[in-house]
Amino acid sequence: MLESKRVLVVVAPFYRDIADMLTQGCVDRLVEAGVEATVTEVPGALELPIAIRIADEMEGYDGYVALGCVIRGETSHYDTVSNESARGIMELGIGAGLAIGNGILTVENMEQAQVRADPLQKNKGADAADACIALMGMHDSATTRRGADRQPTFLPDSEHIQMADGDTRHV
């Protein structure tokens, strides 16, 4: 099933060495899973959700992975970039139902970034690919269930619900 999937990996290469390691780990994992991966770049982490939104409107990939790195500095810019890039990705995932693996590292220093990005160490690029793959699978499962004219999965199979307080209610 994954063989027919297309994933766009969007990379913010502000820290080129870190971005390259994240990309390597991510693409290797996607290819290993049989997914067709395309890589594109944007200037920085704030542009990642915007690029994903544009790509989804233009191309309609099955999934997306956002990769980048934000290292704390002397100003509050770190907080803005970290929070807003994460918020933008979450809004696309929740609001638009996109399968997005978030591989934006938010770290205190370059050493932390290197350990997390390195495919031979923490391999967070591969982790982001795994998240995207899992979300695509959930999306496929939900689509299949809806197509089978089934009740939503959060409802019980019977007409009665056992409440936490012991009461039984009819639905």
Of 77, 139, 160, 170, the active-site residue reads 77
**Active-site residue flag, 77:** yes
* 132 class by beta-carbon count within 10 Å (0-12 exposed, 13-18 middle, 19+ buried): buried
Residues with a known catalytic role: 77
